[in-house]
Amino acid sequence: MDMVLRLAGVSHRFGAVEVLRDVDLDLPAGTVTALVGPDGAGKTTLLRVAAGVLTPAAGRVERPGDAGIGYLAGASSVYPDLTVWENLTFFGRLYGMNGRALAAEAGRLLAWAGLEAFRHRPARHLSGGMRQKLALACALIHRPAVALLDEPTTGVDPVARRELWALLDQLAAGGMAVLVATPYMDEAGRCRRVALLHRGRLLAAGSPEELRARVPCRVLLLQAEGRRQELLRLARELPGVQDARPAGEGVRVALPVGAPDPTLPPGVRAVPAEVELEDVYVWLAGELAGKEPAGKEEARA
């Protein structure tokens, strides 16, 4: 797979705060990469560096083919008083497009995003999901090879969220390199590639399967009728438990692969569960901290 954009040893700080540290990340063509991490992890800063709107304190951004970049900043970046069509053509003109070529591309994106029926509607009268689709279309008007999208699905209803992800898959199928920041692990899990960002450091990048295989942990789901709070406390004190967090009516605990099953009090049962991306995140964050379970609070992503 061709690599169209690469961050090499990127570090950045705002004043005394280190926001990115030594981040290496490749973006291959034809792939959606989810950049996952909780609020404050540094996702927006990483995207801004990749987009070239922020110069990092150290490291480089490489674009071997001089790939064009589409950047969608977090909060909806369309103009509320302009119509759908006016927004698209406005962004096109910013990129030096005009005339028939611009109209053709705007028309194509309008159809692609399912916004044809709303062509003349001011953006402020669109639903949140439609506004995000319009913002996405505007960011792509100049046919970039790379799309850098900052939380396009945050605050969007579940149906529109699925539609947005389907649009991103289509972009990748067309050969684009897509990097999409999200605080939601469940959304990330459906991407071909996931990059886990924790306190400005890239914990790992790879397919969800690769990431799950990378951590030497196994997960048990503890259950005890109607005693979840108590269960959580108990779980955190069990020997060998690296992380414990609520899940449905039970509590998930992660243990090192070779560790024996913990001895449980009467009424509590343990069922083996699949390792999830969030378990991987918490585990790797814990390894990074070089001690016990780091980030019980932070890994709420």
Instruction: Catalog residues that contact Mg ion under the rule CB under 5 A.
Output: 43-44
Which strands form 269-273's sheet, in the order they lie side by side? 243-247, 250-256, 217-223, 269-273
Residue 37 found at the interface with ligand ADP (CB under 6 A): yes
- Shortest Å, Cβ 44 to ligand ADP: 3
Sign of the Cα pseudo-torsion (43, 48, 54, 58, in order): positive
Residue 42 found at the interface with ligand ADP (CB under 6 A): yes
DSSP-assigned states of every residue in 208-257: HHHHHHHS-EEEEEEE-TT-HHHHHHHHHHSTT--EEEEETTEEEEEEET
Residue 56 found at the interface with ligand ADP (CB under 6 A): no
- Shortest Å, Cβ 135 to ligand ADP: 17
Q: Which is nearer to Mg ion, 110 or 135 (CB)?
A: 135
- Shortest Å, Cβ 281 to ligand ADP: 13
Residue 152 found at the interface with ligand ADP (CB under 6 A): no
Q: Are 220 and 65 in contact (CB under 8 A)?
A: no
Among 29, 41, 238, 254, binds ligand ADP (CB under 6 A): 41
Stretch of 42-50, 215-223, 238-246, 268-276 contacting ligand ADP, by CB under 6 A: 42-50
Residue 45 found at the interface with ligand ADP (CB under 6 A): yes
With a CB cutoff of 8 Å and minimum separation 6, the contacts of 260 are 240
- Angle at which helix 158-173 crosses helix 128-139, to 10 degrees, equals 20
Which helix or strand (DSSP H or E) is residue 118 part of? none
Among 2, 39, 210, 249, binds ligand ADP (CB under 6 A): 39
The residue ranges that bind ligand ADP (CB under 6 A) are 14, 17, 19, 37, 39-45
